[in-house]
Structure 1
Amino acid sequence: MKWLFEPVPRSRIAAFRTLVYLFVAADMVIFTPWVRAHADTPGSLYRPLLIGRLLPLPTPTALIVHTVFWVLLVLTLLAATGRAPRLLGWAVFLLYFEWMIIAMSYGKVDHDRFGFLVALAVLPTAGRARHGDRTLSEAGGWALRVTQIAVICTYFLAAWAKLRIGGPHWFTSSVLAQAIIRRGTPLADVIASVPGLLIVSQIGIISFELLSPLIFAVPRRLRGWVVAFFYTFHLMTFATITISFMPHLIALTSFLPLERVRPIVWARRRFSADEPPADPEPANAVPTEAAAAPGSA
């Protein structure tokens, strides 16, 4: 199973960890702020997911929701610095997991969280990692590989669910048409006006999802282009039916050499380049001390 533990630079883990933990904070405040509204939702409407029933987890109250929100927000910002990666990492995973149970136990379940939750679960196992550290780590390689597998499973299992529930009729169904009616954009209206294009799109979607595991067979030098295609697929999805899959897109960066993205280093270089150079002394200038010395004239 050498493939599963293929070592990666620790700096890649550091960059991925910072990105993931910062997104947790952004998700809570920007992308899904509606989760906090469950603090005022009657407990009778709470229908916990299976994991919430097995543990079991308490019915969310205002105290629970607000406590999880503020503690998680503080801890994820601390975890993004790389300090105490195991202690803070496990704490962030458990709290965000509870946050997702609170979010998805009222009738709405998003499948774009699977790969991201797996990333949160495995990051603490990677241990310490610093930005700029080129030391190879098998533990870090395992964490990224497991995240990559979860990302691809999201695609493949989505196709399996479509075929299991809708069968072959899904290809020629009105799924995309209904989505465009509910939340379509002007671009989607243009696409829908072309006869047969929605059917072709649905065939393309399932084909893409079923073939997504082939990314692991693509040569490494070409894998970046495949990932770019994945991002293009999601860009088109957002441009037509305004579904962003943001947590999934963050987990998808596990395929990328994130250690090459170093904004702090770039900023330092930029600012140092903008500083005016010191005025050089003329070649024939006489030092002040020498000019003032006796007999120097």
Structure 2
Amino acid sequence: MTRAVGRTADWFTSPVPRGRIAAFRTLIYLFVAADLVIFTPWVRQHADTPTDLYQPLLIGRLLPLPVPTPLLVHAIFWTLLAVALAAATGRAPRLLGWTVFALYFEWMIIAMSYGKVDHDRFGLLVALAALPTAGRARHGEADRTEAGGWALRVTQIAVVCTYFLAAWAKLRFGGLDWTTSSVLAWAIVRRGTELAHLVAGVPYLLILGQFGIIAFELASPLIFVLRGRWRLRAVAFFYGFHLATFATITISFAPHLAAMAAFLPLERVRPVRAVRGFVAARRGHVGDHERAVVSEGGHLLS
């Protein structure tokens, strides 16, 4: 029993390079900033929505959180945008990290308390709650951290739960009949692309697709038993699934895709080194060009 508990604890806190935490942190906080201005700019419209239409989610009633007003909505937007960009630098990871989580959490309450609740934000919210506990980390740092391993692990679990619980909801409310229903056909009618309409013309392909979706979502926890390249291939399949979803019915799941990067060896991505290399290459190119011009000019003068 003691050994089993110990192994479980080791699995939850399996150490990872600090460079991976630094890269994941930068990615997540930059996504939050992008989310405000690209993916969910419509949330700012709630500043002008009548307050009697605000029906807060359960968590918003339990805390309780304030009713959105123009001052509150715009203040959260600009403050969160500035703090997220600052947090992406890796400075003051706990102070800025907890601030981003609190502000984004309230931003999502405002977004989802008017009748529509998205489930693609779960993994991102867990990542925002876990990252402040990971401590300091720098890009390219090879030292390993158990606190960082825990932050990534709980994010990975949240990502997988998003799939598995989606299948559970389908079977709970639609039963096995969901697999043979017209769910995908209805989605294609509502928001399908030209590619989707081509796919819909193939007999029984949509039904097979629905069986495949249920099987994929139920099997998603198996990613935790995969190792090395097999796990990376599974993650690539996850991303491919969402690429196909966007290409056919234009649902992006962008927050979920950002959180899913917790499975990737992001420490191999060195943005600072890449930028420095690009700048050095450009300088070298310009220097070579100038030397060539001087040399050619001297040749002509001679």
Same fold (TM over 0.5): yes
* One of 210, 232, 241 as aligned partner of 1:224: 232
Instruction: State the TM-score, normalizing by the size of structure 2.
Output: 0.90
Residue 59 of structure 1 and its aligned partner are, at CA, apart by 1.0
Q: Which amino acid aligns with 1:187?
A: L
Counterpart residue number, 1:118 = 126
Mapped to 2, the partners of 1:268 and 1:54 lie a distance apart of 49
The reply on whether 1:135 has 2:143 as its aligned counterpart is yes
Relative to its length, the structure with more helix (as a share) is 2
Residue 266 of structure 1 and its aligned partner are, at CA, apart by 1.8
Q: Deviations over 1:38-59 (max 9, x none)?
A: 0000011111111001111111
The reply on whether 1:50 has 2:58 as its aligned counterpart is yes
Counterpart residue number, 2:295 = none
Identity within the alignment, %:
72
The reply on whether 1:250 has 2:258 as its aligned counterpart is yes
Q: 1:153-168, aligned counterparts within 5 Å?
A: 153-168=161-176
* One of 24, 33, 36 as aligned partner of 2:32: 24
The reply on whether 1:60 has 2:68 as its aligned counterpart is yes
Q: Which amino acid aligns with 2:145?
A: S
Mapped to 1, the partners of 2:88 and 2:281 lie a distance apart of 29
The reply on whether 1:72 has 2:103 as its aligned counterpart is no
Q: Secondary structure at the match of 1:112?
A: coil
Q: Deviations over 1:139-193 (max 9, x none)?
A: 0000000000000000000000000000011000111011000000000000100
Residue 222 of structure 1 and its aligned partner are, at CA, apart by 1.5
Mapped to 2, the partners of 1:38 and 1:138 lie a distance apart of 41
Mapped to 1, the partners of 2:98 and 2:173 lie a distance apart of 36
Q: Deviations over 1:96-116 (max 9, x none)?
A: 000000000001110000000
Mapped to 2, the partners of 1:229 and 1:120 lie a distance apart of 25
The reply on whether 1:236 has 2:236 as its aligned counterpart is no
Residue 212 of structure 1 and its aligned partner are, at CA, apart by 0.3
Mapped to 1, the partners of 2:277 and 2:179 lie a distance apart of 52
Counterpart residue number, 2:276 = 268
Residue 267 of structure 1 and its aligned partner are, at CA, apart by 2.7
Point out the more displaced range, 240-249 or 215-224. Answer: 215-224
Mapped to 2, the partners of 1:267 and 1:88 lie a distance apart of 25
Q: Deviations over 1:232-254 (max 9, x none)?
A: 00000000000000000000000
Instruction: State the TM-score, normalizing by the size of structure 1.
Output: 0.92
The reply on whether 1:175 has 2:178 as its aligned counterpart is no
Counterpart residue number, 2:208 = 200
Corresponding residue pairs, total: 279
Mapped to 2, the partners of 1:132 and 1:224 lie a distance apart of 20
Residue 263 of structure 1 and its aligned partner are, at CA, apart by 2.5
Mapped to 2, the partners of 1:267 and 1:101 lie a distance apart of 37
Q: Which amino acid aligns with 2:84?
A: T
Is there any run of 5+ residues in structure 2 with no aligned partner, and where?
1-8, 292-302
Mapped to 2, the partners of 1:128 and 1:267 lie a distance apart of 22
Q: Which amino acid aligns with 1:73?
A: L
Counterpart residue number, 2:99 = 91
Q: Deviations over 1:1-50 (max 9, x none)?
A: 21110000101000000000011110001111000000000011111111
Counterpart residue number, 1:11 = 19
Counterpart residue number, 1:186 = 194
Mapped to 1, the partners of 2:240 and 2:23 lie a distance apart of 23
Mapped to 1, the partners of 2:100 and 2:201 lie a distance apart of 46
Is there any run of 5+ residues in structure 1 with no aligned partner, and where?
280-297
Mapped to 2, the partners of 1:64 and 1:141 lie a distance apart of 35
- The alignment's C-alpha RMSD in Å is 1.2
Mapped to 2, the partners of 1:266 and 1:81 lie a distance apart of 16
